């Protein structure tokens, strides 16, 4: 199997660590190991004593117990810890789908949600978010997409890249559809916890549906991408057994120091989430003002969750706009061509503390280009 190149990651490989200013990052503000250890007394001693041998293949028991506490109906044995969310997505596709199968995928979206399946010979049908309705999904469209070969429905909620969060009624309709057709429901929930209003938080899919697989990671909600830790949670013993066996051909086991630090992070989820959501809320106020001032240049649907939004350019091409912006200012935005959604949108990140400073650079650039165009 040879998946097509991951365009977004190739773009970041070229620019993420050379661009002077990032304005498209999907992960929120991170922290140092020292800051994380400071959340608990004696945590440094525990890190020093961490044994650097192989770890248990599904993840350290203490870590899986902490992760299980994030769910209502999940036990430690219902969880497999992976080296990042990407490994878990790859594992699910390769174990629960086969050539000739069909899968319905929420789009626009994260490329591995569909490219891995396509490379396997699985047919993919996009379930398209409706931009004119704030990137909403319409569950009534699903019946027209399902076929006798359909095996899974892949969703992302809260959504990357739009920040869309379904209502509870829409979420329940999605689950009911999957149950009615006996589908696996792969629910990417790496932004769960970053709802801008906590009252909007949905249940994890694995807590309400026996054939659901919930994907989590510390890179987004907790802001700890450097720990490279993701996981899946599912009540399906079939999924757990198949994905556990497949992991033997991937990382086998995870990094012991990362699992130790991750256990601390999950234990302090509430504090880390509040830290990141407070940054997001403040930045969104800045963005509201920015887009009001530049309504002639952009169409902005304010996200309800997460750290990213998907913005339409009212004229011009996103790829050209992003290339010129990077060249002239060092500010990196992400054009929609990289996520297979035309050439009219950009992904913008607002989870970092320095976002207002970077936004002011973009603001000045827009003013300068408007002046030069007028003259």
Domains 7-31+270-367 and 51-268 share a fold: no
Concatenating the DSSP letter of every residue in 297-363 gives TEEE---SBSSEEEEEESSS-HHHHHHHHHHHH-EE-EEGGGGTBTBSEEEEE--STTHHHHHHHHH
Which CATH number does the domain 7-31+270-367 belong to among 2.60.40.420, 3.30.2320.80, 3.90.1200.10, 3.90.1150.10?
A: 3.90.1150.10
255-312 pLDDT per residue, tens? 999 999 999 999 999 999 999 999 999 999 999 999 999 999 999 999 999 999 999 9
Report the predicted TM-score, pTM, of the whole model to 2 decimal places.
0.96
Indicate the helix (H) or strand (E) that contains 174: helix 168-181
Decide if pLDDT at 1 tops 80: no
Q: Phi and psi (nearest 5°) for 318?
A: -65, -40
Decide if pLDDT at 317 tops 60: yes
Answer whether 155's CB lies under 8 Å from 174's CB: yes
152-186 pLDDT per residue, tens? 999 999 999 999 999 999 999 999 999 999 999 99
Q: Is 33 helix (H, G, I), strand (E, B) or coil?
A: helix
Q: What is the mean pLDDT of residues 68-95?
A: 98
Q: What is the average pLDDT value for the chain, to the nearest integer?
A: 96
Which CATH fold would you assign to the domain 51-268? 3.40.640
11-37 pLDDT per residue, tens? 999 999 999 999 999 999 999 999 999
Domain boundaries, the chain: 7-31+270-367, 51-268
pLDDT at 86: 96
Decide if pLDDT at 132 tops 60: yes
Q: What is the mean pLDDT of residues 180-208?
A: 98
Decide if pLDDT at 373 tops 60: no
Q: What is the mean pLDDT of residues 314-338?
A: 97
pLDDT at 291: 98
The band of 371, judged by pLDDT with boundaries at 50, 70 and 90, is low
The band of 213, judged by pLDDT with boundaries at 50, 70 and 90, is very high
Burial 212-251, CB ≥16 within 10 A → b, else e: bbbbbbbbbbbbbbebbbbbbbbbbeebbebbeebbeeeb
pLDDT > 70: what percent of the chain?
A: 99
Decide if pLDDT at 100 tops 60: yes
Q: What is the mean pLDDT of residues 211-237?
A: 98
Decide if pLDDT at 128 tops 90: yes
In which region does residue 223 sit, left (phi positive, over 0), alpha (psi from -120 to 50) or beta (all else)? left
The Cα–Cα gap between 289 and 285 comes to 7
pLDDT at 51: 96
The Cα–Cα gap between 58 and 68 comes to 13
């Amino acid at each position: 199997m040879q998946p097509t190149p991951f365009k977004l990651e190739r773009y970041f490989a070229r620019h993420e660590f050379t661009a002077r200013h990032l304005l498209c990052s999907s992960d929120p503000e991170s922290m140092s190991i020292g800051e994380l250890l400071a959340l608990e007394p004696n945590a440094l001693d525990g890190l020093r004593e961490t044994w650097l041998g192989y770890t248990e293949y599904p993840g350290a028991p203490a870590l899986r117990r902490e992760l299980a506490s994030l769910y209502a109906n999940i036990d430690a044995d219902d969880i497999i810890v992976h080296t990042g969310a990407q490994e878990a997505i790859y594992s699910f596709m390769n174990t629960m789908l086969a050539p000739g199968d069909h899968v319905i995928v929420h789009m626009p979206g994260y490329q591995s949600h569909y490219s891995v399946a396509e490379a396997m010979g699985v047919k993919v049908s996009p379930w398209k978010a409706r931009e004119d309705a704030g990137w909403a999904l319409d569950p009534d469209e699903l019946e027209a997409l399902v076929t006798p070969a359909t095996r899974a429905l892949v969703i992302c909620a809260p959504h990357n890249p739009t920040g869309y969060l379904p209502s509870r009624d829409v979420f329940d309709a999605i689950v009911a559809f999957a149950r009615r057709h006996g589908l696996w429901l792969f629910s990417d929930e790496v932004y769960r916890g970053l709802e801008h209003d906590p009252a909007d938080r949905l249940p994890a899919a694995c807590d309400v549906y026996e054939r659901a697989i919930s994907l989590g990671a510390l890179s987004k909600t907790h802001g700890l991408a450097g720990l490279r830790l993701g996981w899946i949670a599912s009540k399906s013993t079939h999924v757990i057994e198949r994905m556990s066996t497949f992991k033997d051909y991937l990382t086998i086991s995870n990094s012991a120091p990362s699992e130790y630090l991750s256990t601390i992070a999950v234990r302090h989820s509430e504090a880390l989430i509040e830290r990141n959501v407070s940054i997001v809320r403040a930045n969104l106020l800045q963005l509201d003002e920015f887009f009001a001032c530049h309504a002639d240049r952009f169409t902005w649907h304010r996200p309800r969750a997460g750290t990213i939004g998907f913005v339409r350019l009212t004229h011009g091409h996103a790829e050209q706009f992003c290339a010129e912006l990077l060249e002239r200012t060092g500010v990196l935005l992400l054009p929609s061509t990289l996520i297979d959604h035309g050439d009219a949108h950009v992904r913008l990140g607002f989870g970092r503390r320095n976002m207002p400073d970077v936004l002011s650079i973009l603001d000045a650039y827009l003013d300068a280009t408007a002046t030069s165009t007028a003259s």
